[in-house]
Amino acid sequence: MIAIKVNNLSKNFKLYGSSGKRALEYMSLGRLNGHTDFWALRDISFEVPNGTTVGIIGQNGSGKSTLLSILAGVLEPGGGSFEVNGKVSAILELGSGFHPDFTGRANVYMYGSIMGLSKEEIDDKFDEILHFSELGDFIDQPLRTYSSGMIVRLAFSVAVNVNSDVLIVDEALAVGDAIFQHRCFRKIREMQEAGKTILYVGHDTDAVRNLCSYVMLLDGGRIIERGDANTVVNKYHALIADRERAYNDENVEESGEILNEGYDVVYNFVDNLKNAKKKCLQPDFLGEQIIEVKSTPRKIIFAHPPSQIEYDLKVEEGSSLAFAIGLLPGAWGKIKNGVSFDINVTCDGVDKNIFSRVIEPKKNQNEKGWHNFKKGLEEYYGREVSIKFVTSGTGEDNSFCWGAWGWPKLIVSGEKKLAKEQNPIIENNKPSNLKTGVRFGTRDAEVLKVEMLDKNDNSKKAFQSGEEAKIRIYIKLNKNIEKGFNVGFIIRNKFTEVYNTNAYWQGFDLGKRKKDDVFIMDFIQNLDLGGGFYSLTVAPAISYSHDDAVILDWINDIFTFEIISDKKFSGFANLHSRIEIKNELMEELIGAFDKYNKEAVGQN
């Protein structure tokens, strides 16, 4: 039996540029069009069999809430049709369906009556609703005095206790505390076992993997992917990564004399910042930072004016000074004036300005981003010099003058390598198992192959529970990476993420990596897992902190393996329980109790 059937469902909203255009259209009886159509849903079709749990995921504005509101009867569709068989209870937007001036108790009875319950039926269920929500005496206070978490408690408690056939949940559980969330998920499990149909929307992809047997991905009001939870969630993560990269590419532009790869670096000013002479108003006004340009990490020297950085060095024959200037993006809309960038070279007591430029975003929007320059140093070849990087404010107010020198270095032209040496690891380990799973990332490093081996280095796809295994990842560098290089993996079962770690979290420094390097990385694991099938997701990245990284090559479900277990336990991790009975301790307790009784009798 089909619980929910949706056929070519659409919904559009009229957007007016002003109230005048709305009035003009109304008074012309529609002959004049003063609006544009925004399609929140376009031609949505799907069926939900009775007793299944279906997840709907997507970015904000993708149409998820609009779809659920139509199915719950809150909105009318603009086109198409839908059919819901059975009684529906819904938890939509926070507080939806409740009146803020009514008490919690009054809202329970109002919601129950809307669901078709009599007063007597609500009376029978009220104690259970109150107990589940844990609102206590607050149940008789107006809803407007409740916190968001309390409103969610009341809404969920009512929705799951009115004996509905279909439960619709729209992201509400994210507001509740951890204890209440656990209680809600247990209740949902009970409803699943009772054969209820559930439509679940949320950004918590782990919850979606755990609860849902079938998932749909919405984007721009259309279903762009549907299928099992793992496949669709992986597609969702890839979609987010692609849009984040597009956002960074759009908002951080690079212009000017951008270097190709035909050069060698003879002196890196960022790496030698600790040896330079520095002048600034406060210590945190000058220092090394890492930013992203076109999804690529780049080193800069943050230099809030007034500042000066002086380097003493010898200029090699054929050297040029390559650098960029710019403002950190957070300053673009806030800076009141501008920043002046100057480079001065001192040689044999003679000081010369070789570069001067002012950036003022309010006067020229084109000055946003990073501007690359290359300056010849012919007159200083073979000579000892002092190079000073100077920033100063162009007005009295230096607030948000977040200027920076981008990737400054001395370079010399180098011969491009026309033929690369063949690497036996690449030749002998073609990426033959990379055809499964969603893949995304900058590809500054890429995964060539993944395999699992036992302790004798035999390649295997089935292991005994508790057996030691190597997760071997073959990686090739397509770009030089100075620091922060990281590699990690995730083990998942059918429903959820089981284990996730990486070199950074393990405190293992992978050091600098050069372009065209190929290496093998082994993670040695004890597979203390329950019997069943598991998948591996792997990814090299550049990590800045525990939870901040640029993904280089993320591949979902690249490798599947089986765990065979003859031990009986429930769950996906074997915690190696032991049972002990302390008879000696029991004898001591009994003896102490007898002694206490005798002393008590003697006192009486």
For 496-527, what is each residue's pLDDT tens digit? 789 999 999 999 999 888 998 898 999 999 99
Domain membership of residue 33 (yes or no) is no
Domain count for the chain, please give it: 3
For residues 392 and 291, the model is more confident at: 392
pLDDT of residue 322: 93
Q: CA triplet 307, 311, 313: central angle to 5 degrees?
A: 165
The Cα–Cα gap between 396 and 562 comes to: 68
For residue 425, pLDDT over 50 is answered with: no
Domain membership of residue 24 (yes or no) is no
Residues 233 and 263 in one domain: no
**Contact (CB, 8 A) for 596 and 553:** no
Phi-psi region of 307 (alpha: psi -120 to 50; beta: other; left: phi over 0): beta
The Cα–Cα gap between 512 and 494 comes to: 37
The whole-chain average pLDDT of the chain stands at 84
Mean pLDDT of 491-499: 83
Task: Tell me which of 380, 413, 446 is where a domain ends.
Answer: 413
Q: Supply 200's token pair.
A: 């679940």
Q: Supply 448's token pair.
A: 């060539």
* Tens-place pLDDT, residues 335-369: 888 899 999 999 999 999 999 999 988 787 667 78
Q: What is the CATH classification number for the domain harbouring 282?
A: 2.60.120.260
* Tens-place pLDDT, residues 47-87: 999 999 999 998 877 888 889 889 988 889 989 999 999 88
Mean pLDDT of 435-460: 84
Q: CA triplet 212, 214, 220: central angle to 5 degrees?
A: 105
Q: Three-class SS of residue 101?
A: coil
* Tens-place pLDDT, residues 216-245: 999 888 999 999 888 898 889 888 877 666
Angstrom distances, CA of residue 451 to CA of 35, 364, 456, 473, 595: 57, 54, 14, 7, 66
The reply to whether omega before 306 is within 30° of 0 (cis) is yes
For residue 467, pLDDT over 80 is answered with: yes
Percent of the chain with pLDDT over 90: 35
Find where tokens 């993997």 sit: 209
> Beta 263-268 vs 403-413: how paired, if at all?
antiparallel
Mean pLDDT of 370-396: 92
Residues 278 and 336 in one domain: yes
- The parent domain of residue 298 ranges over 258-413
For residue 422, pLDDT over 60 is answered with: no
Q: What is the CATH classification number for the domain harbouring 498?
A: 2.70.50.60
* Tens-place pLDDT, residues 12-38: 888 777 778 888 888 887 787 877 777
Residues 237 and 287 in one domain: no
Q: Three-class SS of residue 561?
A: strand
Residues 59 and 200 in one domain: yes
The Cα–Cα gap between 285 and 272 comes to: 17
Residues 90 and 222 in one domain: yes
The Cα–Cα gap between 173 and 170 comes to: 8
Closest CA to 209 of 342, 73, 53, 89: 53
Find where tokens 């800045």 sit: 544
Closest CA to 75 of 40, 102, 107: 40
Domain membership of residue 309 (yes or no) is yes
For residue 329, pLDDT over 70 is answered with: yes
Domain membership of residue 266 (yes or no) is yes
Domain membership of residue 251 (yes or no) is no
Residues 447 and 397 in one domain: no
